[in-house]
Chain A
Amino acid sequence: MDVSRRQFLSIGSAGVLGGSALGFDLTESVRIKQRLRIEGATLSHSLCPYCAVGCSLIAHTKKAANGKTELLHIEGDPDSPVNEGTLCPKGATSLQLAVSRRRVPHPLYRAPGAAEWKQVSWEFALDRLARNIKASRDATFVAQDADGNVVNRCEGVAFAGGAAFSSEEGYLATKLMRGLGLVHLEQQARV
């Protein structure tokens, strides 16, 4: 089996190659790695999170001994009339977006004027944010404009989001934000 540069990089990052690679039997390691990926994996369907071509992905996962679900591999779905199994460099490395040591592990709070983040609980963050939202809504709410029109809008809070939302999340976001009376509502389409 030949090992391409791409596979070589992949092996390196997966840690199979180790620190001193000279003399290592790459062919055998690739064979073992690929066999292990397939064995006993669960197959799910996903979609590429990047551009809007809408390439279908097949994801392979496996339950590890500690009960955690491990994402083993992502590849293009050959059945899709859009991508017919192919992926670009971004789609092909989407596993590295999904599984990353760079994720923010817990809620963080930065007080006014502070120079550092402070780790906080979800309870703290949600409670304080809800109070902020209400206070800002009450402070900037306009029920009637100068012409006497009923306008029921909150002018001082904005929401922007959604480029990688599922549509259903986006719909709920719109509904909830309009429910709060927000007029400043935006997502990636314009920018």
Chain B
Amino acid sequence: MVSLAATFGRGAMTNHWRDIRHADLILVNGANPAEAHPVGFRWLMRAKLDRGAKIIHADPRFTRTSAVADTYVRIRTGTDVAYFGGLINYVLTNRLHHDDYVRWATNAGFVVKDGYAFQDGMFNGYDREQGVYNTKLWAYETDDEGHARIDLDHPRSVLNLLRAHYQRYDPDTVARITGIPREQFLQVARQVGEMGRPDKVMTIVYAVGLTHHTTGVQLIRSGAILQLLLGNMGRPGGGMNAERGHANIQGNTDHAISWDILPGYLRIPAPRQKDIKAYLDESASIKQHPRAVNFFGENYRRYLVSLLKAWYGDAATKDNEFAFHYLPKPAANASWISIFDQALRGKMQGIMLSGMTATSIGPDSNQVLQALSNLKWLCVMDPFATTSSEFWQAPGMDPAKIQTEVFMLPATHWIEKDGSFTNSGRWVQWKDQVLPPEGEARHDHWILSELFLRVRDLYEAQGGKFPDPVLKMALPYANPRKPELDEIAQEINGRDLRTGKRLATFVDLNDDGTTSAGDWIYTGHYPEEGNLAKRRDGVQDPARNDPSGMGFYPNWAWSWPANRRVLYNRASADENGRPWDPSRPGIAWENGTWVGDVPDYPPTTGPGPDAPLPFIMTGEGVGRLFSNAVADGPFPEHYEPIESPIANPLHPEVSATPAAFRYDERAGRPNRFGTVADYPYVATSYRLTEHEHYVTQNVEHLVQLQPEAFVEVPAALAREKGIETGDRVRVSSRRGKLEVRAVVTNRLGPLDVDGRTVYQIGIPIHWGFVGINTGQHWLANALTPFVGDASARTPEYKAFLVNIEKI
């Protein structure tokens, strides 16, 4: 999560599920936890029932989360920057921010370099040719030692720039953009404003309703800025709580199945970085305050070298830069849409999909089908047939014309193997192998190991392009063709290579090749005494297992990093180490030691005015209200979705973000965006309770509960169009269509946006041309646009234009 890393130094849910019960106010945006995370939702309900917390749900659709919320706010999809921006403005205008916290724990007083500008929707430093900003221009004024100049009253202090930036987000403007009535917005703002008091705490809960936008990173960052102003980061019951949508997205992000990172959020090297030093110069954060710990920046080299030792073993030596040049260096973005863009350009030869189906996931499924048709070969590893394994015989495809060689390899289910899942709250929990593999099914990692070793055999026999990283990769497993997940967990944890002993903490990792660790943030989960992810001291004995009474349960599984349950928890106590709210302590300095959670701070370092600052992962030592780690602006700004019914009321000439990546345009392919003239309605997609993306197409009970594809149509629009529940309708975008049944509903209603009525249509994802109900071949992502967020290149699944007709 680019947004959180840009703001706090790490990109993960800051608190954990059980912790949400400590909140006084819960803002839910871009999420429907009651239906998408029903069991996690119990902790929101516990907050409400046990301590009278209020839930405010801002969502385009009145969902089951809205039904139990104290306030439901109907918001136009993709306009949360304006909503949070309005709240930021309200808090600053009425001086409701947590002043001590803001001065101590944020970069409010840092002075921004002269030249920073924001005018008519554009920040300074835009390169029109490339369509990108030079983010380096968004920097602080520095002294001779490279430390930032600090002066809260300076006209270019972050706080003053923030104030000026958000002044435009007055309640009327918020209403004009979001469709939230002015009075209702003010009612929300008054409640949020109270959360800046030290004895109050608010949490923000969000999911893909914020991330899946062309401005997704900024939508989340605006919530993070609000949380910093209110002093709610690091505190039990506070934080930015991202709900991950699949069992182990968090674990597989931590271990970097992602084009841009290496395990532990180390950046993938860039071509110009000729050696480790050059890599570190551009990757590791730089200390910008004399009291910043700059923990990540200071230790980056240790983590990289230890990773290279884990991957290349004896082949990684001081003399060869620890095999740094074995790491591939991408020329350009290589994320999800880029993969299929490359295939459309004829540059991608083969794709391996393991538990992922390209076709349904989209965006722009029809274009993805074309991309798969362009491949030489495709390998699908999955327990079930998927819309990717079967793409060549999808409705409308002519197999005779498709030259792609396709392999379908039966893989095992989660229950047929052990290993750990990391949940949204960063809890690393180990599972048993419950069943042996079914029939001929094989574990994905055994398939991949076997393929790798067969490729290695071919290089040994035939030679080929740069075989070294293939031949020299360290695979120190009892059977490298069938490695045990326990062996790999130990490798991830890391060892002292001089003694062979597993390490108990990442503090012991070295940069001279004497230690190895596959992922430094997991160092300590599997020390010499055993696999701590297996620990099960849970709620059967709260007195013993939860001594703080705060629900940390430190001996239930293990939480990265260092078994810490709440990130940035140093900020839960004031400068002197006293909890802001003694009834809800995170950590406290007592008798020369931090008690409570595992401190996110040097454990033996005391508090005080000369002590290190609280956010140890940033070079500044504080949370960033202003950040240059975001591609489309140091402050979030409201931009319209790439397809929008209106021009941006703030700056109509720069309506959508100028930094969004428009793949088709860049590749010289025809534009596939529609306009409001042809596609007058806003559509948003989402998941239903019974659905887990696409795999649940194969589960009988769940198919019984949600047997057929449908779209939700607002009642007023349905009346206009003569549509009744059960009628078949055609929903079309510039890219494709669905022909499914309509469900007429008041869950979606008309919005008054910028003086006109805007309707939103709801499109559940799930159905395709495989699964139990094979008659349901409509792909929701046939409708969604091929465009990526400026920073993360996340596709836009949540706001696009469609037309609807009764068939």
Contacts and interface: CB of A to CB of B under 8 A. Distances in A.
Chain A bound to chain B: yes
Interface in B28-44: 36-40, 42
Given A176-B452, A187-B253, A169 B405 contact: no
Contacts of B436: 69
Contact of B39 (A82, A98, A153): A82
B338 A184 contact: yes
B339 A158 contact: yes
B411 to A, nearest CB: 9
A151 B331 contact: yes
B414 A49 contact: yes
Given A88-B689, A160-B358, A171 B492 contact: yes
Contact of B454 (A83, A130, A157): A130
B78 interface: no
B113 interface: no
B327 A152 contact: yes
Given A136-B349, A152-B327, A152-B329, A112 B403 contact: yes
Interface stretch (B218-226, B254-262, B570-578, B646-654): B254-262
A180 B455 contact: yes
Contact of B328 (A126, A154, A170, A191): A154
Given A132-B350, A156-B350, A170 B251 contact: yes
Contacts of B491: 171
A123 to B, nearest CB: 10
A190 interface: yes
B245 A188 contact: yes
B458 A134 contact: yes
Contacts of A156: 342, 347-350
B419 A167 contact: yes
Contacts of A69: 435-436
A68 to B, nearest CB: 8
Given A71-B434, A112-B403, A188-B249, A9 B328 contact: no
A112 B553 CA distance: 55
A19 interface: no
A84 B17 CA distance: 12
Interface in A38-76: 44-56, 59, 61, 69, 71
A184 B353 CA distance: 12
Contacts of A77: 538
A23 interface: no
Given A52-B249, A188-B249, A190-B792, A152 B326 contact: yes
Contacts of B70: none
Given A136-B349, A165-B252, A181-B328, A51 B458 contact: no
B245 A126 contact: no
A48 B247 contact: yes
Nearest to A83: B39
A179 B445 CA distance: 14
A18 interface: no
A115 B393 contact: yes
A9 to B, nearest CB: 7
B699 A162 contact: no
Interface stretch (B286-294, B459-467, B743-751): B459-467
Contacts of A191: 336, 361-362, 794-795
B432 interface: yes
Interface in B407-430: 407-410, 413-425, 427-430
A interface majority secondary structure: mixed
A184 B343 CA distance: 11
B556 A81 contact: yes
Contacts of B370: none
B248 A88 contact: no
B695 to A, nearest CB: 7
A34 B228 CA distance: 52
Contact of A52 (B244, B392, B485): B244
Most buried by B among A56, A96, A157, A186: A186
Nearest to B433: A44
Contact of A162 (B354, B413, B442): B354
A13 B551 CA distance: 39
B350 A133 contact: yes
A184 B410 contact: no
Given A103-B384, A109-B406, A187 B434 contact: no
Contact of B263 (A110, A141, A171, A176): A171
A43 B556 CA distance: 19
A136 B392 CA distance: 21
Contacts of A181: 328, 466, 469
Contacts of B262: 174, 178
Interface string B288-312: 0000000000000000000000110
B611 interface: no
Given A47-B429, A96-B700, A107-B407, A162 B248 contact: yes
B439 A103 contact: yes
B420 A166 contact: yes
A56 B440 CA distance: 28
Contacts of B489: 167-168
Nearest to A48: B247
Nearest to B525: A167
A15 interface: no
Given A9-B701, A51-B246, A96-B699, A160 B352 contact: yes
Contacts of A88: 38-39, 689
A22 interface: no
Nearest to A186: B336
Most buried by A among B257, B454, B462, B536: B257
A123 B157 CA distance: 65
B448 interface: yes
Most buried by A among B393, B439, B449, B466: B466
Contact of A164 (B244, B248, B448, B701): B248
A187 B39 contact: no
A185 interface: yes
B355 interface: yes
A53 B423 contact: yes
B252 A189 contact: yes
Nearest to B772: A102
B566 to A, nearest CB: 14
B243 interface: yes
A170 B402 CA distance: 31
A136 B350 contact: yes
Contacts of A112: 402-405
A181 B323 CA distance: 13
A21 interface: no
Contact of A59 (B415, B419, B546, B702): B415
B440 A90 contact: no
Contacts of A55: 39
A147 B349 CA distance: 25
Given A84-B539, A104-B383, A191-B361, A185 B244 contact: no
Contact of B421 (A54, A102, A153): A54
B379 interface: yes
Contact of B37 (A53, A134, A174): A53
B339 A184 contact: yes
B595 interface: no
A98 to B, nearest CB: 5
A103 B39 contact: no
Nearest to B488: A168
Given A53-B39, A81-B553, A90 B690 contact: yes
Interface string A128-152: 1111111111111111010101111
6 nearest A-B pairs in the assembled complex, by CB-CB distance: A166-B419, A54-B423, A161-B354, A167-B251, A52-B244, A130-B454
Given A145-B331, A155-B347, 10 more contacts: A52-B37, A54-B423, A61-B435, A106-B410, A106-B440, A113-B400, A152-B466, A160-B257, A167-B255, A169-B419
13 contacts: A45-B431, A45-B536, A47-B421, A51-B244, A69-B435, A81-B539, A112-B402, A127-B454, A157-B349, A162-B257, A169-B443, A176-B473, A185-B257
Interface of A: 9, 13, 44-56, 59, 61, 69, 71, 77-84, 86-91, 93-94, 96-98, 100, 102-115, 117, 122, 125-143, 145, 147, 149-191
